[in-house]
Structure 1
Amino acid sequence: MRRRCEFSLSTDDAGAQTIALSGRLLVSSIAAIDRELRAVAGPVAQVDLSQVEAIDTAGAWLAWRLADEHHARIVGASDQAQRLIAAVCPADDDTPVAAPRLPTAQRVLDSIGDYVVGAGRGVIAFLGFVGAILIASGSLLRHPGRFRIKALVRQMELVGVSALGIIGLMSFLVGIVIAQQGAVQLQQFGAEIYTINLTGRLAFRELGVLMTAIMVAGRSGSAFAAQIGTMRLTEEVDAMRTIGVSPVEALIIPRVLASTFMMLLLGFYAALCAIVGGATISTLTLGIPFMTFLVRIQEVVPLHDLWVGFIKAPVFGAIVALAGCYQGMQVEGNSEEVGLRTTIAVVQAIFAVIVLDAFFAVFFSEVGWG
């Protein structure tokens, strides 16, 4: 029978102790004596390993720790034991490990440089992505039989029909806020009737389309990024390429078209809901009859305000879909990347929508549609 791991204590004339380890000093056997060794008190001069039959890394660590705690010498160690002990000794170094810290100015400049380089590469990659969509669109025009009409209808349902409830409620409440806050300010000048002008023009020109685009970005843009990103992780996109199906034609173009077209309808729907909300609060607080409010809207809102919303809506829808699909196609590595890219898609889409809205405001003012 193989000997177990054991130890014994002996004391010399000066009162110094020697701990003699024997048997098999292995990870499977040292647990039995580890607690007893930790309880050894008094000065220990030597740790004797001459009776050790076999030793591994765990046993070498035990012997070295024992000697280190009592400031003792290790004697009688075999060549193998000496090599293992020499290997485990540096592992107990408690010197703090820290990377050299660069000066603050240099770190700031490095961060700015990395951001600029990353932004430049991102722009180039996005232009390549848009180019791939244009090439795929041209291919579909030459071969219309490959166009996936069912996928388009399904995405139109997800982007548009399923969002009617939340967008209608949001726009209704926004209309209430606009009318109520506008009336509070206009009452100071006895011009409460102009609440209708304020609500109607803001709903058709700005907030109806802008708030809808932000809602679609958070709802559908994030879904596009998460869906396509998950397909990238599970290698479904690669499988589509393997069997000769273009991922751009099958996944991206239906989503971009659905978002572009449905934003046009959702923006108009949101503007109507905002006007209904404004009419409701005006009836309750200002004494303006509901139907009078609606009739007055037709008189005070110019037709070009309606066209402004119709022009901006599909552009916003395309931007939201492109941001979501592009970030989804960039997913690689692990599932954490899906959440990261989804967040980036929503932030980029909302930022781009707000920037474009400011551009449109200046542009339409310059052409006389202000």
Structure 2
Amino acid sequence: MACPAHPAHLACPAVPASVLKKEASMKKTVVATTLAVFAAWAQADALPLIDTHAHFQTIPYKELEASHKTALATMDRMNIARSLLMPQPFATLTPQWFYDIEDLLFTVKANPERFAVLGGSSLNLMIHGTPADAVDDAVRARFRKRAQDIVALGAVGFGEISVLHLSIPAMGPRHAYENVPADHPLLLLLADIAAENNIPIDLHCDLVPEDMPLPEMLRANALNPPLLEGNLPAFRRLLSHNSMTKIVWVHVGFEPLLTRHPERVRKMLQDYPNLYMSFRLNRGAPRPAAALDPDGKLKATWTDLVREFPDRFMLGSDSFYARNGIARGSSEEGLNNLRGLIEQLPPDLAPKVASENAIHLYRLKSPPVK
């Protein structure tokens, strides 16, 4: 048979056996790599996700039933098996916007396999509304009773509780600025109550290692002060107050001050075995504190952290579900980035971050496999 690359009257040049062998080997490598990639994608896509940090949007309208429907539809579309719902950390009482665990229990009753709830916005009001030197026995008793009521209602944790909560321009002009010492007496009391009941505290703490000027990007919201006071020593005192208290430090991987870079995260996890973190990944960025790069690729330094502390990381989107979608906080991009994180983790780590760590920490039932 004539060689198609040469006229019939010319002999087809022989291909050396070594070249043929090399080409065959390359083809096998390409096929194997492709199959491995697709296998990894398939595994990651099949993994049920647990979102440990989600809210219902109530500003300017509190439409909890509509938010519930949006959450379910979004969860179905994004393959989120279960969401942990909690009120945002209100520091002032505006009745038409305020809600706590009582307002979220209907979701668990309607879909017990899809939702669990945390409570504590009422506790956050008390923490931020009571000066440290005004905490007496009567205040402690009232605070403890409310916390125990939340536990009795079926809360899997206390949250969202805030220490320093900066006002983020992208979240709108009404996004709250809140600040209280992390070693406030009521926070220390809450740590003890959480330990007594074996439930974690979901904690928002924008970290200020030492006094620093407010970053330029946060100056558009006038609620933020021009100078931020260091809060790391007080935060350390909270973490060390009761070694049995499990604290979930939320929003790692995408946070406004860029102070939770891998070296600091590693140090904190080494120092406090009772500390856990949940990823919020609205966008990627080149700075070290961002877990994803601008193209959505998981940075090797963050993969190394998960490898070093495989039982300490979870997912927490910070989605605010409203009638017509996710109103603020996370977004479809943020949820896709959480899925992307799981897809990019090694197969032995992905299930832990996707759901297993949350199941263990919050003592949840395993989600149904879709």
Which bracket does the TM-score occupy, shorter chain normalised? under 0.3
Question: Highest Rg: 1 or 2?
Answer: 1
Question: What is the TM-score with the length of structure 1 in the denominator?
Answer: 0.25
Higher normalized helix content (fraction of residues): 1
TM-score computed with the length of structure 2 as normaliser: 0.25
Which of the pair is proportionally richer in strand? 2
